[in-house]
Amino acid sequence: MTRTDRDHLKILAICHYVMGGLCFVFGSFPGIYLVMGLAIINGDLGPPQQPANGPNGVLYAPQGGGGGLLQLTATGP
């Protein structure tokens, strides 16, 4: 194995870790939507300043859950 081959493998390994980090960051968005939707539904975001935000939470929670399921089915176990 030549030095050029080792350098290419090192660059490939670095790119692999960067791609894994990006997948983790963008893959956590459905979980954030799910948690925020459930918090809106339960009213856990602080003192109520206006009527309940249930309809907004009802939209966020399934969107986050569906996104998470879509991610799991697309990437596999």
Q: Does residue 17 have a pLDDT over 90?
A: yes
Per the listing, tokens 């194995």 go with 1
pLDDT band at 22 (very low <50, low <70, confident <90, very high): confident
- Orientation angle between helical segments 54-75 and 3-27, nearest 10 degrees: 150
Is residue 31 a contact partner of residue 51, using CB atoms and an 8 Å limit? no
Mean pLDDT is highest, among 16-20, 32-36, 47-51, 69-73, for: 16-20
User: pTM to 2 decimals?
Assistant: 0.56
More confident residue, 64 or 49: 64
